[in-house]
């Protein structure tokens, strides 16, 4: 069996989970989306939960890579934080990882909940590290608690997705990001360095 079939199964499942959640990601839909046969699916995976876990891990990996590309990239720490908030995202589709936190079938199973929790936590920890760097560099007020601010910024993004999807408009997400940027400006030693977005 060819390895590309495994990759297509993972990617097809990842896309379906993102759009439809666990229940909407049926084996039939997975096979249709990935373009592989049933035999290939059961050759590579023990069943739907095993394939869903691989797809979740892939979404988590992509989320981490995209976050690191900005938060560990060029620019000052504060510019990188602002750049992360202003990343081009598929707002109305929601966060591929965060959306799964509202899926009862994912949340009730520890093995399926863990990749979601770990991915969101990894990004929060990464963000907290860059906030600490901004404080060491004198860009942000020292009295801010990096872990609290990182949790706030993460919640702004995840909540922004929910509000945008509820209204079927990017405007609530954009307002939430602007609010977060305003919070950073209010605690910055150089507010002008934070883009308006």
Examine residue 149 and state whether it is found in any structural domain, yes or no. yes
For the segment 136-165, what is each residue's pLDDT rounded down to a tens digit?
999 999 999 999 999 999 999 999 999 999
- pLDDT tens for residues 84-133? 999 999 999 999 999 999 999 999 999 999 999 999 999 999 999 999 99
Tell me the pLDDT band of 3, cut-offs 50, 70 and 90: low
Q: Is the pLDDT of residue 197 over 70?
A: no
Residue 23, domain member (yes or no): no
Can you tell me the mean pLDDT for 3-20?
92
In a domain, 105, yes or no: yes
- For residues 80-93, b (16+ Cβ closer than 10 Å) or e, as one string? bbbbbbbeebebee
What is the tens place of the pLDDT at every residue in 32-91? Answer: 999 888 777 878 888 899 999 999 999 999 999 999 999 999 999 999 999 999 999 999
| Domain at 87, CATH number | 1.10.357.10
Residue 7 lies in a domain: no
Q: Is 39 part of any domain?
A: no
Task: Give exposure, 25-48, as e/b (b: 16+ Cβ within 10 Å).
Answer: beeebbbebbebeeebbeebbeee
> Which domain, by its residues, includes 161?
55-193
Give the three-class secondary structure for 189: coil
**Assigned token pair, 114:** 């863990």
Put simply, whether the predicted model's pTM sits higher than 0.75 gets the answer: yes
Structural domain tally of the chain? 1
CA-based end-to-end distance of the chain: 47
């Amino acid at each position: 069996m060819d390895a590309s079939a495994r990759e297509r199964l993972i990617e097809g499942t990842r896309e379906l989970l993102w759009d439809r959640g666990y229940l909407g990601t049926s084996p039939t839909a997975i096979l249709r989306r990935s373009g592989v046969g049933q035999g290939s699916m059961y050759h590579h995976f023990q069943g739907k939960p095993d394939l869903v876990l691989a797809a979740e891990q892939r979404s988590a990996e992509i989320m981490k890579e995209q976050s690191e590309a900005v938060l560990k990239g060029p620019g000052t720490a504060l510019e990188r934080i602002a750049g992360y908030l202003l990343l081009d995202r598929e707002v109305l589709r929601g966060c591929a990882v965060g959306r799964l936190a509202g899926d009862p079938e994912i949340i009730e199973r520890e093995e399926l909940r863990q990749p979601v929790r770990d991915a969101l936590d990894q990004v929060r920890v990464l963000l907290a590290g860059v906030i600490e760097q901004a404080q060491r560099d004198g860009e942000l007020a020292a009295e801010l608690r990096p872990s609290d601010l990182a949790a706030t910024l993460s919640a702004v993004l995840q909540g922004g997705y929910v509000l945008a999807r509820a209204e079927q408009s990017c405007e609530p997400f954009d307002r939430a990001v602007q609010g977060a940027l305003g919070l950073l400006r209010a605690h910055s030693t150089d507010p002008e360095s934070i883009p308006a977005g």
